[in-house]
Structure 1
Amino acid sequence: MKNLLLLFFLAAMIACSPQPEQKAPEVSEMTEEELQAYAKKLAQETIMVDGHVDLPYRMEVKGFMLKKQVEDVSVETEGNFDYPKAKEGGLDAPFMSIYIPSSYYFEGGAKEFADSLITMTMDVTTTFPDKFAPANTPAEIEKNFKKGLISLPMGMENGAPIEDDLSNVEYFFNRGIRYITLTHSKDNQISDSSYDTTYTWNGVSPFGEQVIAEMNRLGIMVDISHVTDSAFYDALRLSKAPLIASHSSCRKFTPGFHRNMSDQMIKDLAAKGGVIHINFGSTFLSKESREKFEAMDSVMMNYRAETGLKRSDSAYQAFAKKYALENDVYADVQIVADHIDNVVNIAGIDAVAFGSDFDGVGDSLPKGLKDVSMFPNVIAELLKRGYTKEDIEKICYKNTFRVWNEVIRVAAES
């Protein structure tokens, strides 16, 4: 009996004693199948933010705005983003891009158009409340994540809807906008565009200086994707809070493409606490892909002229797809990781995040990253390169949350 009691006592002591922590799996020892499974597990267990997804404009192009309804993204669609794909890929908080084409700045109606896209985005959350939810802060994203809901924070791509009325900055903040891309493909009333050659302001305009100050006061992130280098440096000087590039990549890999950021700009962005969100479009990732797409554009233009087909015609689309595959125009997931490596090497792990531009870069997405279900592929590639679980968490959400929370803090102290 004494021996039996002693055995019970020893068993109880062992059960109550601290157990050694389980070591993270060694990636180098994994098979490819095990690595993919681990990458998918990380993607689904970690909050994942994407700085830029163009679902709202996609719905407008498909005519849902005119129908005064939303696309059924609760089920599988032909687009890059929907609920099943997001769940498969572990995407929890895609920033919905309230994209305003530059034509609205010149022809009028920018504010009304932005309002319509915002309303349609919010309608997604009310139409499918068991799947999507609005989110205006990192804390709200965390709360939604625990409930299994996909958050739909919003950023406005192009400051044109602010028009010439500074009070519209607060108006859009109250409507849920949490970053504003200062301009888009043409110079506007706020800033010069990297796609333009006019250099209207040689940077940020005097009114743009007021807009940035108001964004700081309210807690809206300043997004410098699309701006000229001089406008970037103006914004960096003017803003009291860190900046983001919501969907840009590294100019190192695309020489002469000023829509991407130079290494020095990335370093300077990071030095003030900012983050670059890497764009997945092939033409943003690779000089070779850019050249191949330019050649393809010429071929497609001639093909349309010869056949009389439109871009929307199925025969044209089939020919374009065949040409793209035969001529290997696409970048790949490894090049996305190269861009992340470059940012980490020159500015540190705290300076980089995802900003895919899904549904916004057409049929130019790289092999292995054709829609949001494929996020684990880039995580697997990063794991192969020695990135740790903690590194992955920073890229997926912690870096973006840090900037966003700092913007909120600066606003609270204004």
Structure 2
Amino acid sequence: MDKRFYFTTFLAALIALGIGISIGHFAIGKQQTTNSVKYERLTRQTDAQNYEKFISLVQAKNIEANLKDLTSRPHMAGLPEDLESAQVIEERWKRDGLQVTKPKYNILLSYPDNNKPNRVTLTSTDGTIIIQTEGVEKAYDPTQPKTVNPFLAYTPNGTVSSTKLFYANYGRLEDLKHLASIVGNASLQGSIIIMRYGRIFRGDKVIHAQYFGAVGAILYNDPADYAPFGTTPDQVYDQKWFMPPSGAQRGSSYTGNGDPLTPTYPSTDYMYRVEEGTISSLPRIPAQPIGYGEAQVILKYLQGSEVAAEWCGTLSNIRYRYGGVLLNKSSIEVKTYNRLERKDTYNVIGIMKGDIEPDRYVVIGNHRDAWSLGSVDPTSGTAAMLEITRVLGEMAKNGTFFVFISVQY
């Protein structure tokens, strides 16, 4: 047999095989696979009624109930109330049909002393106290649990004092440079600097004051930024939502990212941790927030030339000055009782797994811990997110909501 015979036989067999496959493909009925059903379902045109269904199921009263429950007590990171709120969210999401995990992290956190409030004290030359800040805010509702004392997290504990007090506007780098150009760099050494909140992160204000030689810093909320319609009782909390005279803004002064001991890395048990003393993003000087009612008294003792118009706030009967040696050679002291402590805290992650591309994610997130009760920041977001997952979970169970890619909360 020659090669032509083998080739002809092979070609004939190949043609016969092709004809058989074609007959089988078109002649035998086929059932759709699960994947093809999913694909057709998820790629068809969006039904506007599903959106309307989602909106109709969202209940404002549920968001309100979520908010009231989650803000019924302070829940700073690392405290038992923080874990309780994590467990509440975990159980809710499990009930909504999400895949839930609750990873633990051990983080360097900062706390005030609830029994020893941080204070700023202005004293005359004969030792008479002109003003000593309360270190707590006015309580408008005695039935509410006590909130966390005002403090600047991650600033050190300690006591510093000076006969020099300077005003540095918003504490921006350009503000400190301008102040130094007016009073001289040497004058700022060993001083205390008072700055108003706004424009930049509070931690940068403290770091800038430290960089220019201050031994302590004071922050306050000027009415120009936080009570724009005046400071009379009818224009501030609890009649309006603007800052009252005793209000003090808490918050972190840490200028880095993540856990200070494991910067940019997750603070798990096995992670390497740096020494606390080597962390340049932690302030080295004591600092404290106070209410503008208290700042008003202190600013009256500033001397020096008056500031430019753009540096002026709106505190009544105050001439905003650059400062220097305090009036009548008074002295000012900042005393804080903050502490650093490694504590366990928890993240709560809920996932609605995608049907077609489960390895692609839409992430909807919100932080859970708060410096006080946290009704606006952050719990307004958490309360709404819990209602969203409730509704979408209900629609998924009823077959009216299908996830193309995964959604992570």
Per the normalisation by structure 2, the TM-score is 0.23
Name the TM-score, length of structure 1 as normaliser.
0.23
Structure with more of its chain in strand, by fraction: 2
